[in-house]
Structure 1
Amino acid sequence: MLETSTGGRATKRRTFIKSAAIAAGVGLTDGAGQTDQSAAAVARLRDALIPNEPSSGPVLTQASFARAVTRARRDFTAARYADLAGDLAELIPVARDASDPADLATAAQVYHLTTRTLIKLSASPYAWVSAHQGERVAHASGDLQAIGEARRDLASLFHRAMDYGKARDLTVSTAELLRPQLPSAPASAWGSYGALMSTGAIAAARLEDRDNALGMLEEAEEAARHAPKLVLSVGHVATYKIGVSIVLGDAGTAIEHARDIVPDEIPTLERRASYYTGIAEAYTLWGKTDRAVRALLVAEKIAPSEVRRTGPRQVITDLLHRDRHGKLSGLHALARRSGVAL
């Protein structure tokens, strides 16, 4: 189903849409709008990943290490990124010292969460460091979930670097590696596979490679059916469908996908907020600016940190440019809270 094509016309979309796929959590630039708290969090993760002097982590049992990572995952899904950074900074030295296969799989999760957190905090340069270390540990562990997550992180970073061809092709090659092993794999492996396919679909859409984009989304949906109790099962694929439709310039289809799911059933605050920021971008593309603002306000109520990210801030900027007479209720106050210049 998934094929690599060498061509692809440059995507040409309206200039007011620059974030490409807010539903997928993708931004194009880093650093803008970072608060003092998030900057400090980034610095802690940077120093943990690249210590000034050789360091080792405390000795933890496998059970204690796994429980700590489970808590970190919960903080991530609750969109508590700045607070999470402190816990991850303490776990990174433990991950660095891991050698047992089970500990290596857990260590790979530490790097995965660190990479995603650094992406959320608009710190892609350090996320590359974490992703590289995470891929090495994931392959050493042999764990399918870990490998899928590590490769997805790299695909996300290539996408953020606007190297969409590499992001798509990396997804395709990883699918070829993992797909034969999935029938006997646990639900967690299916979950990471579905997340990888969703991310690859956005990159393919950016290349106007519609066939691969839609094929990857079909693979993600299949993965969701094999992982009914994971985050992937509710809301994840739907938000990426929104993102792909936006990139392909079809705002109406994006809204139709949004209507396929009850947002209150999305189990994590991070993904639920992404659902609403995706709707906001679709409505902006469609010209329904009042609805876009309402969606952003809902997202802010759910997870304020999500609205302060690069992509949603760009949508707010686009809305401000369209609202020359200040008629969109709540937009200016939202812009101030999000650090967007008026």
Structure 2
Amino acid sequence: MGFGEQLRHWRERRKVSLSGLAQATHYSKGYLSRVERRQRKPERLLAELADDTLGADGKLVGAWVMEFGPEPMLGPSAGGEATKRRTFLKSASTAVVVPGLAEPNPHVDAVARLRDALVPDSPTKAEDISLPAFGRAVTRARRDFTAARYAGLADDLADLVPVARAATDPAGIALAAQVYHLAARTLIKLSAPPYAWVAAHQAEQAARASGDLRAIAEARRDMVSLFHRAAGYGKARDLTAKAADILRPALPKASPSAWGAYGTLMSTGAIAAARLEDRHTALSMLGEADEASHRSPKLVLSAGHVVTYRIGVSIILGDAGTAIDHARRIVPEEIPTVERRASYFTGIAEAYTLWGKTDRAVRALLIAEKIAPTEMRRAGPRRVIEDLLHRDPHSNLSGLRALARRMSVTL
């Protein structure tokens, strides 16, 4: 049997409908139906996700490799036009509701413009731009992201997406993958995960077409982040592990930036493993991230970056004291990016909250707000603020209630 027949076999064996598989893998029902009928060539990513969802124990991935060839992530993609995932509906809300805490999105216009660039209503003509100019624009976009200037970055990326779509040579396609990757990360930061799936999928397509190791690692990290955000922790952890198996052999000859991308992928996977209480895998992935940080440009991944993830893993595993110990081992000013530096302080705030040291938690949150106000509007920091308010509804803690008002957090 070919892959399509195998997919139908396992789906029916597990009594999973096409709609159920679409919901689990974020591929549309129509696309899955065409794959099963051999009318579309499936992506390797679908094989991985479906294998995990249907408990096929590697047989679906093996069927894909037998039919379409090995190691597709490191070579050009032959998958054709981009697949529209179930969550790519343009009518989807730009706000996400977190259980018990609504997360407002004050950047609706910026999100809408980037969304329309990613999924245009009609063909758009790209601005005529040279490859060096395109590269400089992508570098500026990366700097804006690390500085947490997300709303303005969304506007700039909306202009770069048509350029990315028009890229044809390998170098241009690698830059295009970076544009889509930055779009996915920015849309996550702006609380618009349905459209982040659009960008993440396009990043994956461009990365595979370019064969660029950095782009491949970044695109896979986007998928891991989105599955993690959707509480698909098992998929996020397993996608990280499978990507590592494919990418690791190519790392000895990789560029420093590729090492950095690999390290951030491992760091994100470690958080998902911790959510599953898989301490061994979480710590192993953090160890790989730490090794990668010594080979990476500091702006991409530094030892300070990895510490922020170590703090997060310790908090998830219920060890606030260890989280604080990790925090004390570095000077926050040594974390080179604003985005990660703010995460460092919000992590400390969460640890101190769990530890019952609420005054220190509030102080850390106020520092994080000063560093990157946009980061404070995300679900994690706002949840910490809400937790502090619940612990003491009549709190006189300096600055907490004013901070809660600024972040639109109410009891």
Pair 1:91 & 2:185 matched: no
Pair 1:43 & 2:43 matched: no
Q: Give the C-alpha shift of residue 323 in structure 1.
A: 1.7
Q: Give the C-alpha shift of residue 192 in structure 1.
A: 0.2
The aligned residue for residue 392 of structure 2 is: 323
The aligned residue for residue 176 of structure 1 is: 245
In 1, distance between residues paired with 2:213 and 2:358? 43
Q: Give the C-alpha shift of residue 243 in structure 1.
A: 0.4
Q: Give the C-alpha shift of residue 291 in structure 1.
A: 0.8
The aligned residue for residue 186 of structure 1 is: 255
The aligned residue for residue 52 of structure 1 is: 121
Does structure 1 retain, via aligned residues, the 8 Å contact 2:315–2:323? Answer: yes
Aligned residues: 315
Unmatched segments (≥5 aa) in structure 2:
1-51, 53-96
Does structure 1 retain, via aligned residues, the 8 Å contact 2:261–2:300? Answer: no
Does structure 2 retain, via aligned residues, the 8 Å contact 1:280–1:296? Answer: yes
Does structure 2 retain, via aligned residues, the 8 Å contact 1:56–1:96? Answer: no
Pair 1:243 & 2:309 matched: no
**Deviation string, structure 1 residues 153-208 (Cα, Å, up to 9, x no partner):** 00000000000000000000000011000001110110000000000000001111
Q: Give the C-alpha shift of residue 54 in structure 1.
A: 1.4
Mapping of residues 125-144 of structure 1, within 5 Å: 125-144=194-213
Mapping of residues 248-263 of structure 1, within 5 Å: 248-263=317-332
RMSD after superposition: 1.4
In 2, distance between residues paired with 1:70 and 1:116? 15
The aligned residue for residue 171 of structure 2 is: 102
The aligned residue for residue 410 of structure 2 is: 341
In 2, distance between residues paired with 1:75 and 1:240? 21
In 1, distance between residues paired with 2:307 and 2:159? 34
In 1, distance between residues paired with 2:202 and 2:300? 25
Pair 1:223 & 2:279 matched: no
**Deviation string, structure 1 residues 78-100 (Cα, Å, up to 9, x no partner):** 11101111100000011111111
Higher relative contact order (CA 8 A, sep 6+): 1
**Deviation string, structure 1 residues 231-285 (Cα, Å, up to 9, x no partner):** 3114210000000001100000001111111001111111111110111111111
Does structure 1 retain, via aligned residues, the 8 Å contact 2:314–2:320? Answer: yes
The aligned residue for residue 40 of structure 2 is: none
- The secondary structure found in structure 1 opposite 2:294 is helix
In 2, distance between residues paired with 1:230 and 1:143? 19
**Deviation string, structure 1 residues 125-171 (Cα, Å, up to 9, x no partner):** 00001000110000100000000000000000000000000000000
In 2, distance between residues paired with 1:326 and 1:222? 43
Does structure 1 retain, via aligned residues, the 8 Å contact 2:294–2:303? Answer: no
The aligned residue for residue 292 of structure 1 is: 361
TM-score (norm 1): 0.90
Pair 1:205 & 2:309 matched: no
In 2, distance between residues paired with 1:92 and 1:196? 23
Letter in 2 for 1:195: T
- The secondary structure found in structure 1 opposite 2:103 is coil
In 2, distance between residues paired with 1:208 and 1:185? 32
Q: Aligned to 1:146, which of 208, 215, 230? A: 215
Letter in 1 for 2:105: Q
Pair 1:124 & 2:183 matched: no
Distance 1:271-1:291 versus aligned 2 partners, 3 A rule: same
Q: Aligned to 1:265, which of 324, 327, 334? A: 334
Q: How many percent of aligned residue pairs carry the same amino acid?
A: 71
Letter in 2 for 1:252: G
Does structure 2 retain, via aligned residues, the 8 Å contact 1:213–1:244? Answer: yes
In 1, distance between residues paired with 2:370 and 2:338? 10
Q: Aligned to 1:33, which of 82, 104, 117? A: 104
In 1, distance between residues paired with 2:379 and 2:407? 10
Pair 1:73 & 2:146 matched: no
Q: Give the C-alpha shift of residue 228 in structure 1.
A: 4.6
Q: Give the C-alpha shift of residue 288 in structure 1.
A: 1.1
TM-score (norm 2): 0.75
Unmatched segments (≥5 aa) in structure 1:
1-5, 7-26
Q: Which aligned runs of 4 or more in structure 1 are off by greater than 3 angstroms?
A: 27-31, 228-231
Letter in 2 for 1:103: G
Letter in 2 for 1:63: P
